[in-house]
Structure 1
Amino acid sequence: MRVLFIVYPSHAHFWPAVPLAWGLQSAGHEVRVATHARFEGSVTAAGLTPVGLGDASVDEARTRPDARAPAHPEEVLRYADALGLDEQGREHWIAYYQWLLNPISDYIRTDLPYADELIDFARQWKPDLVIWDPTFACGPFAARACGAAHARMLIGPDILAWSLDRLAERGTELLAAGLSPNPQVELMTPLAEKYGMEIDDELLYGQWSMDPMPPGMVLPTSTTTLAMRYVPYNGAEAFPRWLTDRPERPRVALSLGESTRRFIKGDWGRTPMILEAVADLDVELVATLNEPQLEGVDRIPDNVRVIEWVPLTHLMPTCSALIHHGGIGTFAAPAAMRVPQIVCDTGETLMMRPVEVDPRGPGDGTYRVGFEFGISEDVVEKVTSWELPAKKLEATLTADYVVARGAGLRLNHRTTSVEDIRRMITAVVEDPSFQRGARDVRESWLAMPSPADVVPLLEGMTAERR
């Protein structure tokens, strides 16, 4: 069969889909990956065939100055009140309404070429199955236009479906509060009208969802899901020769993920504390940080090796622990290789708050529409920037899971001293209970079907639903 993957042009979104694409391709199926034309090189580097959308010389949609900005906190909270959400539910809602709706809006715009080109390709190539990134929301339109079966490929907890379920439950209360009963439907309506399609649950949720989250990290939703092991893949990179040598002392890795390294400078003061903490320890720290992330670091200790990038799949087998930002993709590598973890989580709200800033300034801890990925347009005197929480979107969920299973500890750099961080690293490296917890996490990971295991299931579901 023919399978079309549709992914947001970001490694954090593409890499989780690669093992499944390989599994389908190895089983003899034709596989294509549709994404922004600027991202084609990353697809070919993974051994897959890209379908470039748009012009490679034009900036990706999220970097446009007219890209959708986050909703104002007052609007976010009006919805939370009308939805009757508890504290945890409010955080899920903030993640959806302030964070996820922004990329969702990018590739369903009727004034940009991406949706039209994708639908045209689907009609011509006629895939049997479309597997689409939930943030690339024109994917289900392409599937419907060619009659393909289609599924969402989740890369984290299904906050989108959880939020859509809440909207469906509280439509009367939302209308009474003067709020749209479904803001995502509003975003999708122009494209639906253009192609004469009705927005139903399949266009919102997919016919089913590929869910890589282990038990204990899955959000309850109304969707049909197919569990699949999150096999870590961090890009096609040469294996560093120094990793072939056995480390002389325990090796600890520090990784703050692949995505925020593009626009978060200084790491909110967290990295300087961690480097100071390891300076007097009998460990080797491998810190995979770029120059912006190292802003504010006055000294690199002698036992710290700073390298801008090395795939965690290369690094983890040599490590005794990983300190990381709580991203699901980063969590997956130590989980697969039974490595204990220290998960950075401040426990604060995910709410972004608008601030007026000098666009020529450093922008520490802020996000600016049109300035992501190191790209900036002609600057003006003031721009609206969004102050970000000092944590990853799913950091609390990841930290809760790791701590509950005894596989590591939570690091809140806002409340923890350098000496406490030092004791924390020592404990995770030396206490055998954390090794046992990491083994338990790996066993749970192994119990899930692999990408190769789910290929026959996808074949059957596609035959039923296309």
Structure 2
Amino acid sequence: MRVLIASHAEKTHFLGMVPLAWALRAAGHEVVVASQPALMPTVAATGLPGVAVGHDHAMALVSRRADPEGEAVLRSLALKHRPWDLSGEELEEGHRDLVLGMLRIVNSPLVDGLVGFCRRWRPDLVVWEPLTFAAPVAAESLGVPHVRFLWGLDLIGRARHHHLARRPPDAPRPDPLTDWMGHMARRSGTVFTERMTRGHLTLDPFPDPLALDPVPGVDRLPVRYIPYNGRAVSPGWLAGARSGRARVCLTLGATAVDRLHTGTGLDVNGLVRALAATGAEVVLALTPDQLDALRDPPEGVVAAGPTPLHTLLPTCDAVVHHGGVGTLCTAMVHGVPQLVLPQVIAPMYIYDEPVLAERLDRQGAGLTVRSAVLEGGELTGMLARLLEGREHREAARDLAAQALAMPGPGRTAHTLHHLTHTGV
């Protein structure tokens, strides 16, 4: 079969789909990645064939603007944090911000080119990341199945469910998402249905203890998380002898905070000192800019710089990080206890980071700092608990076992092949 992997130009949203794309190719299927031109170097580096469609979006530029559109970008991130806590009016506003501040910006430059390519190439299946709503429009215009691949918790799907459930049936006009997607669908020769917001199936990389329960109408298919961040060379020092002390990795992410300019008031020096106070070897897997902020690091601190986490974390006794899905899930599959600082790192960049951190904490596989203010003594104490207690290590290993027991990409590829024949 022919499978189209569709993503707008967002590297972190695309990379999670690469192991499945390669499993499909290994099973003999033809796979093409379609995205905006800016993503093509990343696509090429995966070894997958890519095709550039449409033109690049301007999300980063819009987010910097001090106007209603720029403000909507940031609100669209925050309002999806806990959709079950929002009122009907807040959900209506959230959907409006989602369309204005994100979906329209990334999809409008993409939809015509993607639909046109699909009509020429005729895929049998479309796999799309959850913000690329141009993809289900293209798939529905051809009458072929399409599948969402989650890169985070399905808060958009949950917000959609709560919004429709609370919206008055006699509302004078369609809700903002229906209105906007209906316009895209009509331009592409089809009509909007709710299936365009959730796909025939939703591939979910989170094991049950972390995943949200699916909402009505969402057919969830678990798929094992496979760490992948592009081409990587393991640094030679990782093969050397350990110091004998516990090893802690510190990584703070880079992409979204930098591009969306949400800012962070984090004191990197204070954070590193608090971690080193435990007596552990602290490995700083930080960006060059983050390392530049470091002054007089304490003894036992290793300034490693950007390091492939799937090679580093198996050697660590704990990891301290910002709450990004890639870092959290890589630590999860390797059974590493986690100390998560979602709101300390970027108070305005809140999507699923706090929710995921709390669910991890609830399982005992990690701890989370819940405030936006970092207290060095509190941080040192929390890390010491992770390093010294057995319960967190055991819980992290149990969570890893559950994650590794999920169907792998090869099995999922077989399921998707069956989907194209059954038309479910």
Provide the TM-score with structure 1 as the length reference: 0.80
Unpaired stretches in structure 1, ≥5 consecutive residues: 348-364, 366-387
Q: Which moved more, 1:337-346 or 1:216-225?
A: 216-225
1:165 maps onto 2:166 in alignment: no
Q: 1:198 to 1:99 in 2, by over 3 A?
A: closer
Q: Following the alignment from structure 1 to structure 2, what is the Cα–Cα distance between the partners of residues 138 and 169?
A: 25
Q: Deviations along 1:194-241, whole A, 9 cap, x unmatched?
A: 223211112222222111222132243121121111222121111111
Whole-Å separation in 1 of the counterparts to 2:287 and 2:357: 24
Q: 1:251 to 1:161 in 2, by over 3 A?
A: same
1:182 equivalent among 175, 184, 189: 175
| Residue 405 of structure 2: aligned partner | 447
Q: For 1:147, which of 143, 146, 156 is the aligned residue?
A: 143
Letter in 1 for 2:362: A
d(CA) in 2 for partners of 1:285, 1:94:
44
Inter-CA distance 174–444: structure 2 relative to 1 (3 Å threshold): farther
Comparing 197-206 with 406-415, which one deviates more in the overlay?
406-415
Question: After superposition, where does 1:449-464 map in structure 2 within 5 Å?
Answer: 449-464=407-422
Residue in 2 aligned with 1:357?
A: none
Q: CA deviation at 1:304?
A: 2.2
* Residues 294-373 of structure 1: pairs in structure 2 closer than 5 A: 297-346=294-343
| Stretch of structure 1 that moved more, 294-303 or 4-13 | 294-303
Work out the CA distance in 2 between the residues paired with 1:258 and 1:395.
Answer: 14
Partner of 2:189: 196
SS in 1 for 2:16: helix
Matched-pair contact (CA < 8 Å) for 1:402–1:408:
yes
How far 1:266 moved relative to its partner?
Answer: 6.7
The aligned counterpart of 2:235 is 240
CA distance 1:63–1:405, change in 2 (3 Å): closer
Matched, 1:290 2:295: no
1:310 Cα deviation from its structure 2 partner: 1.4
Superposed displacement of residue 406, structure 1: 1.4
Q: Which amino acid in 2 is paired with 1:122?
A: C
Q: In 1, distance between residues paired with 2:198 and 2:406?
A: 22
SS at structure 2 position matched to 1:161: helix
Instruction: Give the letter aligned to residue 277 of structure 1.
Output: A
Change (3 A) 1:221 1:275: same
Q: Between 91-100 and 181-190, report the one with greater CA deviation.
A: 91-100
Asked whether the 8 Å contact 1:69–1:102 carries over to 2, the reply is yes
Would the aligned equivalents of 1:270 and 1:413 in 2 still touch at CA under 8 Å? no
Partner of 2:361: 403
Could you say what secondary structure the match of 1:5 adopts? strand
SS at match of 1:421: helix
1:435 is matched with which residue? Answer: 393
| CA offsets 1:386-413 (integer angstroms, 9 cap, x no match) | xx62564212222222211211211246
Give 1:299 shift.
3.4
1: CA distance between counterparts of 2:77 and 2:406? 36
**Counterparts in 2 of 1:424 and 1:96: CA distance versus 1, 3 Å:** farther
SS at match of 2:327: helix
Q: What TM-score comes out, normalization by structure 2 length?
A: 0.87
When you count helix as a share of all residues, which structure comes out higher? Answer: 2
Asked if the contact 2:88/2:163 (under 8 Å) is kept, the reply is no
Within 2, Cα distance between the matches of 1:154 and 1:17?
9
Residue 11 of structure 1: CA displacement? 2.3
For each residue in 1:240-280, what CA deviation from the matched residue of structure 2 results, as whole angstroms up to 9, or x when unmatched? 11111132122211122242352458732253332121333
Q: Which moved more, 1:62-71 or 1:141-150?
A: 62-71
Seen in structure 2, the aligned counterparts of structure 1 residues 92 and 167 have a Cα distance that, compared at 3 Å, is: closer
Query: Do structure 1's residue 116 and structure 2's residue 116 form an aligned pair?
Result: no
For each residue in 1:278-319, what CA deviation from the matched residue of structure 2 results, as whole angstroms up to 9, or x when unmatched? Answer: 333422212222244457544333422234421211111111
CA distance 1:76–1:451, change in 2 (3 Å) = closer
Contact conserved, 1:268 with 1:390, CA < 8 A, in 2? Answer: no
For residue 382 of structure 1, what is the aligned residue in structure 2?
Answer: none
C-alpha displacement of 1:441: 0.8
Question: Structure 1 residues 145 and 266 mapped into 2: Cα distance closer, same or farther (>3 Å)?
Answer: closer
Identity of aligned residues (%): 30
Q: Deviations over 1:86-117 (max 9, x none)?
A: 369999989866568633222432xx3x2221
Q: 2:266 aligns with which of 252, 266, 269?
A: 269
Matching residue's letter, 2:156: L
> Is the 1:53–1:118 contact (alpha carbons within 8 Å) kept by the matching residues of 2?
yes
